Structure formats: C-alpha cells, structure tokens
C-alpha cells in the first residue's frame, strides 16, 4: 500500500514539473503574435475576438489553466486590437476545432495531435521535438535565444501565408 501511495505522489510530481515555466511563458508570449501574422486569418467584424484554444491531455488541467492565465495577463485581453476569447479543452473533448484562429497544444500523443492538424487553424505545440511528425505548424525552441520553428509540410498543406521576413528568421523544419 505504501508503494502505491509513493508511486502516486512521484507521478504527480513528474506531471507538475513536466513543463518548463520559462519556455511556456516564452511560447505563449510569441506564438499568438506569430499566428496573427498569417495573412489569411479573416475576422467577420473589425472587433471580432481572436479565438484561442489550449488543447491538453488528461492530467494537464493545471498546466492548461496556467496557459490561460498567462495569455490573459500578457495581452491584457487584446491581441492586435481584437479581444481574446480563450478556451481550454482536453483532447478527448475536441470535436470541431475549425472555429479557432490559433490552437496551442500541450503534450499529447500523435493521434491526439493529428486532430489539430486538420483544423485549419494556426497550430502550435509545446514540445518542439514532435512538431514535424504530427503536422503541427509552429513551435519555439530555446537555444541561446528563442528559435521559431515552422513545419514546412504543414505550411504547404494548409496553405498558410506568412510574411517573408518571418520565414527568413525562422528555422524551417522539412
């Protein structure tokens, strides 16, 4: 019985420490701004909200709440003069994700992440190592400075259009 209890405590500690707070804040500061550079994002009205989805796996509810809090405070409720509409949903509850402009995914398995690939929204992923294999468009990796990663295949398949200046400074992942 003691072994099970210790195992549960260790598992909880691993989950809570599985996200680097600095990387999370950096990504959530830069990625929504990068997403807004996509030339084909259309708003029905000039004051229509930017719809942002935080997608997470079971057990990551606290990390998703942290992401929502970071986005709310960083942008003070507005992004590029548009109000922000934030939603956090587990991968299990994702059905029609086409209504969002930007989707940020925390850690997930390949089948969960593939759901986001077909959404038509600008997608970003916490774990840059899984960017290429899951069809997610953006991520940021920390080296000496933040490195913007863009998945070339997702860029072509979804026909996203970003300014050349962004493509010149980003690292394109084939």
Indicate the angle between helix axes 21-35 and 61-74, nearest 10 degrees: 60
Block means of pLDDT (10 residues each) for the chain, 174 residues, are: 44 59 97 95 87 96 97 94 95 79 94 82 94 91 96 93 97 95
Query: Is 5 among the domain residues?
Result: no
Name the nearest CA neighbour of 109 among 133, 88, 93, 139.
133
What CATH number did the domain enclosing 73 receive? 3.40.50.2300
The range of the structural domain enclosing residue 107 comes to: 19-173
Q: Where are the alpha helices (DSSP H) in the chain?
A: 2-16, 21-35, 61-74, 110-117, 131-134, 152-157, 164-169
* Phi/psi of residue 145, nearest 5 degrees: -130, 165
Q: How many domains is the chain partitioned into structurally?
A: 1
Flag whether 96 is in a domain. Answer: yes
For residue 11, tell me if it sits in a domain.
Answer: no
Residue 65, domain member (yes or no): yes
Residue at 95 is within a domain: yes
């Amino acid at each position: 019985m003691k072994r099970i209890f210790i195992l549960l405590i260790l598992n909880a500690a691993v989950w809570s420490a599985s996200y680097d707070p600095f990387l999370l804040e950096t990504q959530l500061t830069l990625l929504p701004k990068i997403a807004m550079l996509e030339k084909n994002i259309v708003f029905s009205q000039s004051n229509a909200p930017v719809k942002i989805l935080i997608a997470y796996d079971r057990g990551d509810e606290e990390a998703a709440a942290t992401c929502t809090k970071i986005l709310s405070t960083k942008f003070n409720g507005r992004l590029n003069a548009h109000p922000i509409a934030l939603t956090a949903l587990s991968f299990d509850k994702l059905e029609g994700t086409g209504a969002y402009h930007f989707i940020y995914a925390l850690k997930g398995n390949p089948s969960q992440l593939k759901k986001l690939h077909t959404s038509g929204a600008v997608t970003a992923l916490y774990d840059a190592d899984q960017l290429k294999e899951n069809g997610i468009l953006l991520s940021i990796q920390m080296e000496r400075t933040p490195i913007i990663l863009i998945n070339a295949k997702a860029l072509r398949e979804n026909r996203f259009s970003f300014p050349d200046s962004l493509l010149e400074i980003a690292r394109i992942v084939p």
